[in-house]
Amino acid sequence: MSCAPGEPCEEGGRRRRALIVLGLMGAIFLALSAASFLPSRGQALPATVSYAGFDAVQGKRVFQSYNCMGCHTIVGNGAYLGPDLTGLYGKVGPAWLEAFLPSAGSWPTKGAVSLQLRDERIAGDAGVAAIDAYLEKYPAAAERITRRGAHSTLMPNLPLSRTEVRQLIAFLKYTSAMNTEGWPPRPQVDGLTFPQAAPLPVSRPTIPVAAQDPGAAAASAPVSAAARGAQLAQDAGCTACHASGRERLVGPGWGGLYGSEVELTDGSKVRVDDAYLTESIVDPDAKIVQGFAPHVMPSYAGTLDADQVAAIVAYIQSLGGEHP
């Protein structure tokens, strides 16, 4: 477009300004493109985050192979049936995840988390070895134990191996280390009065296994060994992996188990009696039943004393089966 004779012409100035703006935008684009090839600017990288000897890349493969995003979100990507997992590791810590993931159908108890802290690698990654210090460091784990411990969840028990569990924790550790720039957003409910903004109620805390006093309980009211064993099994997290019926969860169902004969991985057979059950509680890898993987159940030696183990055995016997 040309200027009319005798009129001021601003076409050249406008063209120059447009070219300057275009050049500035091109320079910014080239600078940002070059910056994208530079090493991470303080951002966590999956190959540099590890847990128990496994890196986050391995854990991401486990996360994808079990289609976890079908229920959960990571940095906003995924489905919304389950909670967002972006910062879960930093909230609940490794011991809670070690207790939860192999038997996700039930929320872990304080005893179950305490049992995981006996592993030096887990305690080292958590930064604390005592359960009270752990719950103080990871208040979200304490809240879950207090409000939901030993109750059932909506999540199924997945057939995760111990290796897959630790690889998955490595991935969750990485997602907690990411700089998400404020995601997920936290709702602001201060000053709101409608029921949905009220804090969730907190139930009575679960009594830890180690804190129970059998003598005091017996003095207040006589309790059978089987009834005491049922409570101990719940407090220690046994019911997360073992059903009181015959159905198989992570481990075998206890219904009708006592007095039966089971086949071991070496082809031999053994009868389920007091001695076998006691050994299975304190040294679960001593005899592996055909169809079950080793190194899944932790040892309760040092966590449960002899009387407590005997009470759990009495409870299993009460669930049916013939005396050997």
User: Mean pLDDT over residues 309-322, rounded?
Assistant: 87
Of the two residues 36 and 59, the one the predictor is more confident about is: 59
pLDDT at 28 over 60: yes
Q: Which residue has the higher pLDDT, 219 or 95?
A: 95
**Common-topology check for domains 46-177 and 213-318:** yes
Cα torsion for 141, 233, 286, 289, to the nearest 10°?
Answer: -100
Q: What CATH number does the domain located at 213-318 have?
A: 1.10.760.10
Residue 196: per-residue pLDDT? 63
Residues 173-198 have a mean pLDDT of: 76
Confidence bin at 44 (pLDDT 50/70/90): confident
Mean pLDDT of the residues in the chain? 85
Helices (H), the chain: 11-35, 56-65, 88-100, 110-116, 120-126, 131-137, 139-148, 162-177, 214-220, 225-235, 274-282, 306-318
Domain ranges of the chain: 46-177, 213-318
Tell me what pLDDT residue 199 has: 62
> pLDDT tens digits for 238-252?
888 898 899 888 889
pLDDT tens, residue by residue, 131-165: 999 999 999 999 999 999 888 888 988 889 889 99
Q: Residue 270 pLDDT more than 70?
A: yes
CATH number of 46-177: 1.10.760
